Chains A and B, each alone.
Chain A
Amino acid sequence: MSETKDIITMAHGSGGQASHELMSRVFGKYFHNEILDALEDAAVLDMEAGKLAYSTDSFVVTPLFFKGGNIGKLCIAGTVNDLLMMGAEPKYLTCGFIIEEGFPIEDLDRIAATMAEEAAKAGVLIAAGDTKVVDGQGGLYINTSGIGIIPEGRAARAANMKTGDKIILSGNLGDHQACIYSARMGIENEIRSDCGVLKDITDALYGAGITPHTMRDVTRGGLGTILNELCKAAGCGMRIEESQIPVDEKVAGLAGILGLDPLYMANEGKMIAVVAEEDADKALEAMRQTEHGKHAMVIGTVTEDANVQLVTGLGGVRVLDVLYGEGLPRIC
Chain B
Amino acid sequence: MNEQLARIVSYLKDYDGPEIRLMEVCGTHTAAIFKGAIRSLISPKIHLISGPGCPVCVTPAAFIDKCVEYAHMDGHVLYSFGDMLKVPGTAGSLSDHKGQGAHVEVVYSPFEVLEKAAAQPEVTHVVAAVGFETTAPIYGLMIREMQEKDIHNVRLVTAIKTILPALTWICDSQPEIDGFICPGHVCVIIGSDPFLPLAEKYKKPFVVAGFEPEHLLVTIYDLVCQIEAGEHNVGNHYKNAVHAAGNRKALDVLEEYYEPGAAVWRGLGSIPDSGLYISEKYQEYDGGSFGLDQDIELPPACRCADVITGRINPADCPMFASGSCTPTSPYGPCMVSAEGACGIWYRNR
Q: Direct contact between A and B in the complex (CB less than 8 angstroms)?
A: yes
Interface residues of A (CB under 8 A from B): 185, 258, 310, 312-319, 321, 324-325, 328-332
Listed A/B pairs (22) with beta-carbon separation below 8 Å: A312-B36, A312-B213, A314-B1, A314-B41, A314-B214, A314-B217, A315-B41, A316-B36, A316-B38, A318-B348, A324-B327, A324-B343, A324-B347, A325-B327, A329-B108, A330-B338, A331-B108, A331-B109, A332-B27, A332-B56, A332-B83, A332-B135
Given contacts A314-B9, A314-B36, A316-B213, contact A258 B338 (CB under 8 A): no
| Given A318-B37, A324-B326, A328-B85, 16 new contacts (CB under 8 A) | A258-B108, A310-B37, A312-B213, A314-B1, A314-B213, A314-B214, A317-B40, A318-B348, A319-B349, A325-B328, A325-B338, A328-B106, A330-B339, A331-B109, A332-B28, A332-B81
Interface residues of B (CB under 8 A from A): 1, 5, 9, 27-28, 34-38, 40-41, 54-56, 81-83, 85, 106, 108-109, 131, 135, 213-214, 217, 326-328, 338-339, 343, 346-349
- Residues of chain A within 8 A (CB-CB) of B56 are 332
9 smallest CB-CB distances across A and B, nearest first, come from A316-B37, A318-B37, A324-B327, A328-B82, A316-B40, A317-B40, A316-B41, A332-B83, A312-B37
Of A258, A317, A324, which is in contact with the most chain B CB atoms at under 10 Å from its CB?
A324
- Residues of chain A within 8 A (CB-CB) of B327 are 324-325
- Residues of chain A within 8 A (CB-CB) of B85 are 328
- Residues of chain A within 8 A (CB-CB) of B347 are 321, 324
Summed over the interface, the residue pairs from A and B with CB atoms below 8 Å come to a total of: 72
Task: Give the interface SS of chain A, mostly helix, strand, loop or mixed.
Answer: loop
- Residues of chain B within 8 A (CB-CB) of A325 are 327-328, 338
- Residues of chain A within 8 A (CB-CB) of B217 are 314
A47 and B318 alpha carbons, distance in the complex (Å): 57
Given contacts A312-B36, A316-B36, contact A331 B83 (CB under 8 A): yes
CB distance from A221 to the nearest CB of B (A): 13
CB distance from B63 to the nearest CB of A (A): 15
A94 and B217 alpha carbons, distance in the complex (Å): 55
Q: Which residue of B lies closest to A307 (CB)?
A: B349
A329 and B34 alpha carbons, distance in the complex (Å): 19
